[in-house]
């Protein structure tokens, strides 16, 4: 059996962990051990790659989402609202780890030249949240039921360099970058009647430049045929050579300035020619790094899921974090969340436990049968809602005969006689009498994500660890 250097590096992680060695650090050294010269510069460049991964990914996502002439489906031109009218299905590939619990109301817009106004209607006590993400993926504000209530509200979203009077009746929200991603979510039961009710609310949202006024008619968008509209964004980012990556990152940093707290990191990155406000000189990149650097750096990002120094908690086969939405200088955590769940909320709004394999070991395989059991009174403690979602190994929905991508109270599962909830996780139907509790799996490998929206802060709570996620167990 012949192993590539990359496979060998990962194969050694378990051994390193078993002997108590700082495995993440040694694995990192092993990944660059073939570079006899310039190892330190390579490490600096890799740190810079990790640092910029969110901003580059946001830009590539923006390009795909906005490369249309008018709003259609999951896309709309810059500054125009995308109003998803139904839940995503197995054909959805725009972002990794989509959800099938809320209807998105989203938009990319640029507040570099002037502020934009966001007007929200009376949501009539319906659960919703409107996280606003900076170009670096930090959730800088979160209007919604948890924070601002459900009454009508109007916001003035301004850029990093704007100063001026705030019109009466508006609340100013300051974005640290020119690029803003509104990633609104509105809860919907999925019935035709509730779809119609949410559609009516979506149609009352308004987004417009301050100078244009609320009766603004947006212009038609320009379509760039050079933009890849088929390949998943994460794959597009990962395919960039080191020079392409840093050239794009440097241009993006001109309009989306790093935070003041990033100064020490930026001082290091200047050694490889990455300087805020300046274009990148590709000559700074060693030719040997063009493909190697992106590969190694992305491996480092994904390794952080296991070797996270506490950023990721591992319990009963589930990994989750309460360090999302706001990252400070924890750049590798920010990059990991970008890679596996772009658009993640602050933990007070949502926590996303993910299970890549059963607690007993091995991999999730559709050829096996599994169950997840919540004891009576031990359903996920939330003030919003919870769901258990099935994904294939690339974090996308799985096509199945009943078109069910997640399990939640909304799907009306049946409780056992003792009051517990048992979810059947397998490729084939568990039988007509159990199908209400069936979460269909693919024939091959898969993973699971449990979403807790607005987790309860009172005990038991996932936020302080007093509520423990049950393990998924293999049957037979």
Lowest mean pLDDT among 33-47, 66-80, 356-370: 33-47
* Higher pLDDT pick, 40 / 380: 380
> Residue 7's pLDDT band (boundaries 50, 70, 90)?
very low
Is residue 45 within 8 A of residue 285, CB to CB? The reply is: yes
- Torsion angle, alpha carbons of 71, 77, 83, 87, to 10: 90
Query: pTM to 2 decimals?
Result: 0.86
pLDDT score at 283: 83
- Cβ density class 322-338: b for 16+ within 10 Å, e for less: bbbbebeebbbbbbbbb
- DSSP letters spanning 161-183: T---PPPTT-EEEE-SSSEEEEE
Local confidence band at 38 (pLDDT 50, 70, 90 cut-offs): low
Reference 284, options 297, 269, 295; nearest CA is 269
User: Residue 5 has what pLDDT?
Assistant: 28
Q: Is the pLDDT of residue 362 over 70?
A: yes
pLDDT (mean) for 370-386: 96
pLDDT above 50 for 1: no
Strands 438-440 and 369-374: unpaired
Query: Is pLDDT at 89 greater than 60 in this prediction?
Result: yes
Mean pLDDT, the chain, integer = 90
pLDDT at 217 over 50: yes
Q: Average pLDDT, stretch 332-336? A: 97
Model confidence over 273-322: pLDDT tens digits? Answer: 999 999 999 887 888 899 999 999 999 999 998 889 899 999 999 999 99
What Cα–Cα distance (Å) separates residue 188 from each residue in 59, 126, 199? 29, 9, 10
pLDDT band for position 31 (50/70/90)? Answer: low
- The burial class, CB within 10 Å (0-12 / 13-18 / 19+), for 15 is exposed
Is residue 14 over pLDDT 50? no
Q: Which of 353-362, 365-374, 383-392 is predicted least confidently?
A: 353-362
Q: How many CB atoms are closer than 10 A to CB 459?
A: 11
DSSP codes of every residue in 215-265? T--PPPPPP-TTS-SSS-HHHHHHHS-HHHHHHHHHHHHHHSPPPGGGHHH
* Residue-range domains of the chain with CATH: 8-59+232-303 (1.10.3360), 68-209 (2.60.40.1610), 335-475 (2.60.120.1600)
Q: What is the pLDDT of residue 93?
A: 76
pLDDT in tens, 427-453: 999 999 999 999 999 999 999 999 999
Instruction: Please tell me the predicted confidence (pLDDT) of residue 28.
Output: 53
pLDDT at 299: 96
Residue 3: pLDDT band with limits 50, 70, 90:
very low
As a whole number, mean pLDDT of residues 164-189 equals 97
Q: How far is Cα 72 from Cα 51, in angstroms, rounded to an integer?
A: 33
| Nearest residue to 54 via CA among 354, 275, 308, 342 | 342
Q: Is residue 107 a contact partner of residue 133, using CB atoms and an 8 Å limit?
A: no
Residue with the two structure tokens 């972002």: 95
Could you tell me the CA-to-CA distances from 221 to 55, 66, 70, 425 in Å, in that order? 23, 8, 6, 43
Give the model confidence (pLDDT) of 412-431 as tens digits.
999 999 999 999 999 999 99
Chain segment 406-415, per-residue pLDDT in tens = 999 889 999 9
Q: Among residues of the chain, what percentage have pLDDT more than 70? A: 91
- Residue 178 has what pLDDT? 98
Please check the confidence at residue 352 and state whether its pLDDT lies above 50.
Answer: yes
List 398's β-bridge partners, or say none. none
Query: Alpha-carbon distance 41 to 214, whole Å?
Result: 51
pLDDT > 90? residue 251: yes
């Amino acid at each position: 059996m012949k192993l590539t250097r990359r496979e060998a590096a990962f194969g050694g992680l378990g051994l390193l962990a078993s002997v108590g060695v700082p495995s993440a650090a040694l694995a990192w050294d092993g990944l660059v051990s073939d570079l006899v010269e310039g190892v330190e510069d390579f490490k600096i460049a890799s740190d810079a790659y990790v640092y910029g991964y969110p901003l580059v990914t946001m830009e590539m996502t923006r390009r795909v989402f906005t490369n249309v002439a008018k709003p259609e489906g999951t896309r709309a031109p810059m500054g125009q609202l995308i109003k998803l009218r139904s839940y995503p299905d197995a054909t959805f590939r725009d972002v990794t780890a989509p959800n099938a619990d809320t209807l998105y109301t989203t938009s990319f817009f640029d507040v570099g030249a002037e502020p934009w106004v966001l007007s929200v209607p009376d949501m009539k006590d319906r659960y919703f949240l409107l996280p606003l993400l900076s170009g670096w993926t930090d959730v800088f504000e979160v209007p919604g039921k948890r924070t601002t209530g459900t009454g009508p509200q109007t916001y003035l979203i301004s850029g990093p360099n704007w100063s001026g009077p705030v019109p009466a009746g508006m609340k100013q929200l300051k974005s640290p970058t020119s690029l803003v991603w509104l990633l609104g979510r509105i809860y919907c039961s999925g019935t035709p009647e509730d779809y119609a009710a949410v559609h009516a609310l979506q149609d009352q949202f308004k987004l417009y430049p301050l100078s244009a006024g609320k009766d603004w008619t947006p212009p038609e968008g320009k379509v760039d045929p050079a933009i890849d509209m088929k390949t998943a964004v994460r794959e597009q980012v990962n395919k960039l050579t080191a020079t392409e990556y840093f050239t794009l990152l440097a241009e993006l940093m001109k309009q989306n300035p790093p935070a003041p707290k990033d100064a020490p990191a930026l001082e290091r990155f200047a050694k490889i020619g990455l300087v805020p406000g300046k274009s990148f000189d590709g000559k700074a990149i060693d030719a040997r790094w063009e493909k190697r650097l992106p590969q190694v750096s992305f491996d480092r990002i994904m390794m952080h899921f296991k070797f996270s120094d506490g950023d990721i908690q591992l319990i009963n086969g589930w990994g989750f974090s309460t360090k999302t939405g706001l990252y400070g200088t924890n750049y590798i955590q920010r990059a990991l969340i970008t890679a596996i769940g772009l658009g993640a909320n602050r933990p007070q709004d949502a926590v996303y436990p993910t299970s890549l394999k059963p607690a007993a070991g091995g991999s999730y395989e559709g050829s096996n049968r599994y169950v997840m059991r919540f004891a009576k009174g031990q359903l996920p403690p939330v003030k919003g809602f919870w769901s258990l979602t099935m994904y294939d190994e690339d974090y996308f929905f799985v096509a199945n005969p009943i078109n069910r991508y997640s399990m939640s109270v909304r799907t009306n599962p049946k409780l056992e006689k003792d009051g517990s909830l048992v979810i059947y996780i397998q490729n084939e139907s568990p039988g007509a009498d159990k199908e209400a509790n069936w979460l269909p799996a693919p024939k091959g490998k898969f993973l699971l994500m449990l979403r807790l929206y607005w987790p309860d802060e009172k005990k038991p709570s996932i936020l302080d660890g007093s509520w423990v996620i049950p393990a998924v167990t293999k049957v037979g």
